[in-house]
Structure 1
Amino acid sequence: MRAIAEFIMRGRMQATLVVAAAAALPLLFWLSAAASALVLLRRGMQDAVTIVVWAVLPALAWWYFAEPRTLLVLLGTLSLAQLLRRTQSWVAVLLASVPLGLLFALVLGEQFQESIARLAQELNTLMQQQMGEILQQWPEAERARMDSLVVPVLTGLMAALLQLLSLLSLMLARYWQAALYNPGGFAGEFHALRLSPLPAFGLLLALLLVPNVAPQLAMLVPLCTVPLALAGVALLHGLVAQKRLAGFWLVGLYVSLLLFLQLIYPLLMVLAIVDSLFDFRGRQRHKPDDAANGEG
């Protein structure tokens, strides 16, 4: 992966080739977003625009064929990269990803309205088959409320995936930047990532209360889980590095996440919330002297 970063930063023509080709090819739009973010982080918005425009063109072509994800992830990653470049704060980036995900949800809900409605109908039918007797015991108003939440939650899940892809693309770009100009800088940033109590409990309250305010706001529930889960992953990475544990602990984490997603994902969120109160990595954690951007 370092070789790709070196090729991107070799010159304007090489960077343009990577971002445009990756945006044009199916399933490689995340690479285009990461390459564009690398240029922005290192060179700034003014230099990045002349390169990113060549990624926007194939992304618009994909949108014409009813595939908006390429453009959404590209622009979402760039907006988060600009925020990171200005604030040098991963916490700010994680929190900003929530309204970004909401924007994704609105676009996806409009673009795939019929497909989401069909999927929601199939899920409702499946729930009736699997839980028919239990659902019959619920009050009519409660069943109607449950049915009204399916479409917003499905839309939120789709948007949360793009939200996560935007964050991961930015992390890849930051890793590339550190590898080229400040080795180990991204690891220090990621290991130190921790939500303070206010945003952590704010996200938790949004998870618990927002669906009761209005059914359409239920799309925020999956979006609010992403910052908490990533903060939980950062906590475990930081603890493994701090304790100098073997790397297989992290391998075990990701294998468990793939195999037991429904169990491990909420656990990561709980760890992030508890860590916001107790700071397991130490309240006097040393702040890295060098930023990962390598500009100084």
Structure 2
Amino acid sequence: MRALAEFIMRGRKQAILVVAGAAALPLMFWLSAAAGSLVLLRRGVNDAIGIIAWALLPALGWWYFGEPRTLMVLLGALGLALVLRSSVSWTRVLMISVALGLLYGLVLGAVFREPITAMAVELQKLMPQVMGGVYSQLADDERARLGAMVAPVLTGLIAALLQLVSVLSLMLGRYWQAALYNPGGFGSEFRALKLPPALAFGLLAAMLLGPNLGLELAMLTPICSVPLAIAGLALVHGLAKQGGLAGFWLVGLYVSLLLFMQLIYPLLVVLAIVDSLIDFRGRKARKNGAGPANGEG
């Protein structure tokens, strides 16, 4: 991956080739977004805009043929890159990503309303089997409300996935930038990521209360979970670094996340919320005797 980053930064033609070429290929929009983020983070808007414009051409072509994800993720990741470049704050990036996820949800609801509605109808048919006896005990109005929430939640899940891809594309671009110009910088940034209590509990409140404020706001639940899950991953990485654990354990975490998503993902969300109050990494550092002088003096 470092070799690809070096190729992108070798010159304007090389950057255009990767950014535009990846945008033109099916399911490679994340690479285009990551490459564009790298160029923007390193060179700034004025130098990057001429390169990114070439990626917009195939992205607009995909949109014309009914595939908006390429353009959405590309513009979303670049927008987050601007926030990171100006603020150097991953916390701010994650919070802006919530607004980005909501925007994705609105676009998906407009472009894919019919397919999402059809999927929601099929999922509603499976509810009696999935929920078992619990579904039969619900009142008619509760069943109707539950059925009406399926489409917004499904839209939110898809939007949250695109939101996550946008953030991960930016992270890849930032990792490339650090690998080329500041080795180890991205790792330090990511491991230090911790959401303040007000933001963490605000996201939790939006997740829990959103469906009660309106059916369409049910999409807030998956969208608001993304920053918390990423903060949970940052916590695990930070504790692994402080504990001197081998990379094998982190690989095991990601494999478990893929295999047991329903269990590990909520656990990461809970860890991020608890860490916003307890600060596990700070406690461990103080316990190990790391003070303001980093052990010196």
The residue aligned with 2:295 is none
Counterparts of 1:12 and 1:26, CA distance in 2: 23
RMSD, aligned CA: 1.5
The AA in structure 1 aligned to 2:55 is: A
Task: After superposition, give the CA deviation of every residue in 1:12-35 in whole Å (9 maximum; x if it has no partner).
Answer: 111011101000000111010000
What is the correspondence of 1:15-30 to structure 2 with a 5 Å cutoff?
15-30=15-30
For residues 116 and 204 of structure 1, what CA distance do their matches in structure 2 show?
26
Mapped to 2, the partners of 1:17 and 1:62 lie a distance apart of 18
Cα deviations across residues 84-115 of structure 1 (Å, max 9, x unaligned)? 00000000001110010000011011111110
Quick one: structure 1 residues 244 and 35, their matched pair in 2 at CA, closer, same or farther if it must change by over 3 Å? same
- Secondary structure in 1 aligned to 2:282? coil
- 1:118 aligned to 2:111? no
Superposed displacement of residue 246, structure 1? 1.2
Please report how far the alpha carbon of residue 286 of structure 1 lies from its aligned counterpart in structure 2 after TM superposition.
Answer: 8.2
Q: Which residue pairs with 1:261 in the alignment? A: 261
The runs of 5 or more residues in structure 1 that have no matched partner are 288-296
CA–CA distance in 1 between the matches of 2:37 and 2:291? 27
State the SS of the aligned residue for 1:229: helix
Matched, 1:187 2:187: yes
The higher-RCO structure (CA 8 Å, 6+ apart) is 1
SS of residue paired to 1:67: coil
How far apart are the structure 1 equivalents of 2:48 and 2:232? Answer: 32
Instruction: Give the corresponding residue for 1:292.
Output: none
Q: 1:286 to 1:206 in 2, by over 3 A?
A: farther
Among the aligned pairs, what percent are the same residue?
68
Counterpart of 1:253, as a letter, is: L
Mapped to 2, the partners of 1:63 and 1:286 lie a distance apart of 53
The letter of the residue matching 2:122 is E
For residues 218 and 286 of structure 1, what CA distance do their matches in structure 2 show?
Answer: 44
**Residues 255-294 of structure 1: matches in 2 within 5 Å?**
255-282=255-282
> Which letter does structure 2 place at the counterpart of 1:30?
W
Correspondence for 2:234: 234
Structure 2 vs 1, CA of residues 286 and 255 (structure 1 numbering), >3 Å: closer, same or farther?
Answer: farther
Listed one character per residue, the Cα deviations across residues 125-184 of structure 1 (whole Å, up to 9, x for unaligned) are 011344464323211221111011100000000001100000000000000000000000
Q: Which string of whole-angstrom CA distances, capped at 9 and with x for unpartnered residues, describes residues 28-49 of structure 1?
A: 1101000000010000011111
Q: Pairwise mapping of residues 7-46 of structure 1 onto structure 2 (< 5 A)?
A: 7-46=7-46
Give the Cα–Cα distance (whole angstroms) in 1 for the partners of residues 74 and 291 of structure 2: 34
Greater CA drift, 227-236 or 278-287: 278-287
Once residues 131 and 256 of structure 2 are traced to their aligned partners in structure 1, the CA distance between those partners, rounded to angstroms, is 28
User: Cα offset for 1:76?
Assistant: 0.1
**Kindly tell me: are residues 37 and 249 of structure 1, through their superposed partners in 2, closer, same or farther at Cα, counting changes over 3 Å?**
same
Q: CA deviation at 1:269?
A: 0.5
- Give the letter for the 1:108 counterpart: L
| Alpha-carbon separation, structure 2, partners of 1:265 and 1:281 | 20
Q: Which amino acid aligns with 1:95?
A: M
Residues 13 and 275 of structure 1, relative CA distance in 2, 3 Å threshold: same
Indicate if the aligned counterparts of 2:2 and 2:176 stay in contact, CA closer than 8 A.
Answer: yes
| TM-score, reference length from structure 2 | 0.94
Partner of 1:173: 173
TM-score by length of 1: 0.95
Residue 43 and residue 130 in structure 1: after superposition, are their counterparts in 2 closer, same or farther (change >3 A)?
closer
| Aligned pairs (5 A) from 1:1-296 | 1-131=1-131, 133-282=133-282
